């Protein structure tokens, strides 16, 4: 779950090598790429910039509602509503706020504006690792998945074709936080990557599956209240994981099994298409093998 949107001076945009667009404002850091003819790409990038300008201010205006546990009143702004609508199906029996969907919802919103502006063969909007995808018929993406950004090499591959009902990828877990990161985890997963119909839904699901990878009460798990780390966190006094000591192989497997149960529950409800869970060198894959497989 995101812990804050933070103050910011102004939004900035830049074109990067490889026909990529960089958008940044406060904690929002986006890399976007579109494929199509030159005019379509230019129109898509102009639309992305127009949608991005003022986006953070709009989210801050809805922040009080976005930090409230669901169910709660629906907020007003377009991205805030995406966040609310993505998180709502997950709130039965779980603590979740719309902030669980913030990175994915921003990516979805920018991509939607790009697609509305121009016909594109393919496109992605990567917001800090939570990714919204567009695929025209017959197109595909191969996406590398890593469990730890500090370690080289891929751990898995997601092979997404246009006919798949996957247009969003998101990752959560302890390894995605780091010092100065934007989110906390209630669980002990190194990382959980989820594939879903959109990035906002994948974002929420990845958060909750990562929370479920856990060993409640285990002395190797060190936790503190989220508000002790960030007074503005939507998690309040919920205990978040700040350290993890040695675990036996069987304990690692047991923690991952708890996460698999949650992922399978979401998949049976049609909320996600697939997930891959990592902890201390072990992994579990939920979903069809052609969609997600080991690297």
Q: In this predicted model, what pLDDT tens digit does every residue of 27-65 receive, in sequence order?
A: 999 999 999 999 999 999 999 999 999 999 999 999 999
Q: Check pLDDT > 60 for residue 133.
A: yes
Q: Check pLDDT > 70 for residue 260.
A: yes
Q: Check pLDDT > 80 for residue 173.
A: yes
Q: Check pLDDT > 90 for residue 6.
A: no
Q: Check pLDDT > 80 for residue 72.
A: yes
pLDDT at 84: 98
Interval 262-282 mean pLDDT = 96
Q: What is the C-alpha separation between 224 and 103, in angstroms, rounded? A: 24
pLDDT at 178: 41
* Burial of residue 289, with CB atoms counted within 10 A of its CB: 0-12 exposed, 13-18 middle, 19 or more buried: exposed
Q: Check pLDDT > 90 for residue 7.
A: no
pLDDT higher for 200 or 183? 200
Interval 216-232 mean pLDDT = 92
Q: 244 Cβ partners below 8 Å, 6+ apart? A: 174, 188, 220, 221, 222
Q: What kind and span of H or E run contains 242?
A: strand 239-244
Q: What is the C-alpha separation between 211 and 201, in angstroms, rounded? A: 16
Q: Check pLDDT > 70 for residue 180.
A: no
pLDDT at 293: 82
| Percent of the chain with pLDDT strictly greater than 70 | 94
Class of domain 12-294: alpha beta
pLDDT at 53: 94
DSSP 225: E
Enumerate the domain spans of the chain.
12-294
Lowest pLDDT segment from 30-34, 214-218, 234-238? 234-238
Q: What is the mean pLDDT of the chain?
A: 92
Q: Check pLDDT > 50 for residue 261.
A: yes
Lowest pLDDT segment from 2-6, 129-133, 181-185, 202-206? 2-6
pLDDT at 2: 34
Q: Check pLDDT > 60 for residue 177.
A: no
Query: How confident is the model over 80-120, as pLDDT tens digits?
Result: 999 999 999 999 988 999 999 999 999 999 999 999 999 99
Q: Check pLDDT > 90 for residue 9.
A: no
pLDDT higher for 28 or 146? 28
Q: Residue 130: pLDDT band by 50, 70, 90 thresholds?
A: very high
Query: How confident is the model over 21-30, as pLDDT tens digits?
Result: 999 999 999 9
Beta strands 130-135 and 122-127, pairing class? antiparallel
pTM: 0.92
Lowest pLDDT segment from 32-46, 96-110, 124-138, 153-167? 153-167
Instruction: Give how far the C-alpha of residue 32 lies from the chain's centroid of Cα atoms, to the nearest Å.
Output: 15
Q: What share of the chain is helix, strand, coil (3-state, %, to 5)?
A: 35, 25, 40
């Amino acid at each position: 779950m995101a812990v804050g949107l933070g103050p910011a001076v102004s939004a900035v945009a830049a074109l990067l090598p490889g026909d990529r667009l960089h958008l940044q404002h406060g904690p929002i850091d986006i890399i976007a790429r579109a494929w199509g003819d030159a005019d379509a790409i230019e129109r898509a990038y102009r639309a992305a910039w127009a949608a991005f300008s003022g986006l953070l201010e709009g989210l801050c205006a809805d922040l009080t509602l976005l930090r409230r546990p669901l169910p709660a009143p629906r907020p007003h702004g377009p991205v805030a509503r995406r966040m609310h609508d993505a998180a709502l199906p997950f709130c039965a029996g779980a603590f979740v706020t719309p902030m669980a969907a913030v990175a994915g919802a921003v990516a979805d919103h920018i991509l939607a504006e790009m697609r509305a502006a121009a016909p594109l063969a393919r496109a992605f909007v990567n917001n800090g690792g939570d990714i919204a995808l567009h695929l025209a018929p017959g197109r595909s993406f191969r996406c590398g998945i890593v469990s730890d950004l500090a370690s080289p090499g891929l751990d898995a591959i997601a092979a997404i074709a246009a006919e798949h009902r996957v247009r969003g990828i998101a990752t959560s877990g302890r390894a995605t936080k780091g010092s100065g990161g934007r989110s906390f985890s209630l669980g002990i997963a190194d990382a959980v990557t989820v594939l879903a119909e959109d990035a906002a839904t994948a974002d929420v699901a990845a958060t909750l599956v990562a929370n479920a990878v856990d060993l409640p009460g285990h002395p190797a798990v060190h936790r503190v209240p989220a508000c002790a780390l960030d007074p503005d966190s939507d998690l309040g006094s919920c205990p978040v994981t700040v350290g993890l000591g040695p675990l036996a192989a069987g304990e690692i497997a047991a923690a991952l099994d708890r996460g698999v149960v949650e992922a399978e529950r979401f998949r049976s409800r049609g909320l996600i298409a697939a997930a891959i869970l990592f902890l201390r060198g072990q992994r579990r894959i939920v979903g069809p093998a052609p969609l997600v497989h080991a690297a």
